[in-house]
Amino acid sequence: MTHPLVPATLAFRGDGTPYSPRFDDIYHSASGALAQARHVFLGGNQLPQRWQGQRLFTILETGFGIGVNFLATWAAWRADPGRCERLAFVSVEKHPFAAADLGALHDKLVAGTTIAPLAAELVKAWPPLIGGIHRLSFEGGRVTLTIVFGDALEWLPKLWLRADAFYLDGFAPAKNPDMWAPSVFKSLARVAGTFATLATYTCAGDVRRGLEAAGFACEKAAGFAGKRDMLAGRFAPRWRVRRHEPPLPFSVVQRHAVVIGAGMAGCALVERLAARGWQVTLLDRNTRMASEASGNPAGVFHPLLSRDESVATRISRAGVLLALQSWRALEARGHDFARTDRGLLHLPADAHEARSLADAIDAYRYPDTFVRHVSSIEATDLAGVTLGRDGWFYPRGGSLDPASLCAALCAEAGTALDWRAGARVSRIEREGSAWSVLDESGHVLARAEVVVFANAHEAARIAGLRHAPTRIVRGQLTRLPIGTDLRVPLIGEGYAVPLPEGLLAGATYGIDDADSTSRELDDAENIARLAQLVPAWAEQLAALDTSALASRVAFRCVTSDRLPMIGPLADEALCAQHASALAGAWPLDLHRSPGLYGAFAFGSRGLVWSTLAAELVASQLEGEPWPIERELAEDLDPARYFLRALRRGSVQPS
């Protein structure tokens, strides 16, 4: 459950040191934040020496505060010619600053220093104050900040990563004892890498004893700025402290992956893998990218809200925020995919939906920059057409051209992408350490140690999964020669998206309907819903000749729980041989098919979920911190249906 955030208060002591009235403590020594970060946290963890020559180095921090430890680490990484290829910094903050306050703090602390440009980048990328995990990327993705807005006691057990170093930087133990609780130290031990180190400015006896009880060997070191001692340590457990080892990268001889499916899901994977140095072969049965549902003229994107913080709500919120960051980066590099920037309006279908949305917004206190209620007058002003009812406005929502986005994602991959059109994949075979991807005649289309299925309702069949039920949903869109005055996309019962030459309305929802021909009845259904959405257009819509309208049919893929399939695939045959032992298994207990991953069954939320799915799969492959909490990723695990069958005792060895 995501709880409403209580932001930090911007305050200073008389000497200009940032101060927390809530905890009655300072954010850093009066002798200097940067100097303290370099001495205590970089020096205490023997950085930059320890990251040199590494592909990935991961740091976990308790207490982000004003972000100086991150900025100092980022600056040290930039200045080090022997730096690791990728630096992953993860930090938890219960009371984050708003972006404007963070910028004001940095103006006082780092103005005129070489770190000032980095601080400006951080503030520009700073997420809205919404609880949960936010992934920020810098240096073309080589430096990531995974910032968690929430209570460390709640969130540290949910993170999944392998930490090489720990920065313990909460307020003083006497001021904020929760940050130094034994449960916190146990959470650190759960994700500590084999040679992990730690550092903290405090030398309190309770802290040292708590860390040692959790498996860390600690010793005193010279403190900073007149403080006699600090603690430095290393992970040295005297006994087994965890059931599962923290994640490692998938071991490959060659960093080459085959991605099957060239829609939104597949193209997002291409870009994310190429950004990490992978060569990618992209296969699709069609002659061009984005030929199926991703070829629709436009798609809408917006968060999903609910009173109960459902799984779909949580992944949609994380997905839309991550996607927006990715799209802004693409646009900054010159790509254009017709993304609208005026927001999106949600008009509830009835009083029940209106109450549900209002309750969700009230409960979690979403910032106005994320979603806000608008009166019928303001809604009309935003839309440019008379609407006659209240709604909710998503300033960050909108629409874009999915096919153009797919092209931009693949263009970013450059020479790392080998695109093969008209490749009709029929099955896969394991040969040694690699997988052969075969067509219907048995011809090898591609071969690699990693294969990712992003081909919607064909994925489970080709991957040989018996417990990954998916269904197709037929959707028909209708293009209308009206609505050129509409300023923002509208959603409700159906949706309306302004196009340069008119309006896109839709879409129908036909489960298990495989008919690809356009139907005049479906166009009439889209028009009827649009007339309810915008009554001011009713007369114009009634006068249209439905037989002359242009429409498009595409097929979505859904699961019975309407959640996507994202992550490593289970080795169902091997698991079945050990079915009785796995009757009480959890996802991490399952045997996985080495190198096989899925990113499919996105339904109508491909724009919102594809970036998050690609980032999650890439992080799993690379052994990087996951961009969402482990329990949420497990809700999306392609093996979740198989796991339920194991627990029911309905899996038999084949």
For 131, residues 6+ apart whose C-beta sits below 8 A from its C-beta are 2, 3, 4, 5, 149, 150, 364
| Strand arrangement, sheet containing 427-431 | 427-431, 434-438, 444-448
The dihedral over CA atoms of 144, 147, 152, 158, expressed in degrees to the nearest 10, equals: -70
**pLDDT tens digit sequence for 153-178:** 999 999 999 999 999 998 889 889 99
Query: CA-CA distance, 248 to 228, in Å (whole number)?
Result: 38
Look at residue 654 and tell me whether its pLDDT is greater than 70.
Answer: no
User: What is the second-level CATH architecture of the domain 19-235?
Assistant: 3-Layer(aba) Sandwich (3.40)
> What single string gives the DSSP state of each residue in 260-290?
E--SHHHHHHHHHHHHTT-EEEEE-SSSSSS
Q: Are 639 and 590 in contact (CB under 8 A)?
A: yes
Task: Give per-residue pLDDT as tens, 578-637.
Answer: 999 999 899 999 999 999 999 999 999 999 999 999 999 999 999 999 999 999 999 999
Query: At residue 31, does pLDDT exceed 80?
Result: no
Contacts of 85 (CB under 8 A, 6+ apart): 54, 55, 56, 142, 277
Residues ≥6 apart with Cβ < 8 Å to 486: 383, 384, 385, 496, 498, 503
Q: Are 534 and 494 in contact (CB under 8 A)?
A: no
Share of the chain above pLDDT 70, in %: 99
Instruction: Check residue 186 and give its pLDDT.
Output: 96
Domain edges within the chain: 19-235, 256-290+403-464+588-641
Per-residue pLDDT of 362-379, as tens digits, reads 888 899 999 999 999 999
Same topology, domains 19-235 and 256-290+403-464+588-641? Answer is no
Of the listed ranges 93-97, 307-311, 452-456, the least confidently predicted one is 307-311
Question: How far does Cα 627 stand from its chain's mean position?
Answer: 5
Kindly report, residue by residue over 482-504, the tens digit of the pLDDT: 888 999 999 998 899 999 889 99
Q: For 335-356, what is the mean pLDDT?
A: 92
When the pLDDT of each residue in the chain is averaged and rounded to a whole number, the result is 94
Specify the pTM: 0.96
Task: Give the residue, 225 or 573, on which the prediction is more confident.
Answer: 573
User: Is the confidence at residue 30, as pLDDT, over 80?
Assistant: no
Q: How confident is the model at residue 33 (pLDDT cuts 50, 70, 90)?
A: confident
- As a whole number of angstroms, the distance between CA 45 and CA 24 comes to 28
**53-102 pLDDT, tens per residue?**
999 999 999 999 999 999 999 999 999 999 999 999 999 999 999 999 99
pLDDT at 543 over 70: yes
* Alpha-carbon gap, residue 463 to 465, rounded angstroms: 6
Q: Parallel, antiparallel, or unpaired for β 279-283 and 229-235?
A: unpaired
Specify the pLDDT at position 2: 60
Domain 256-290+403-464+588-641, what fold? Answer: FAD/NAD(P)-binding domain (3.50.50)
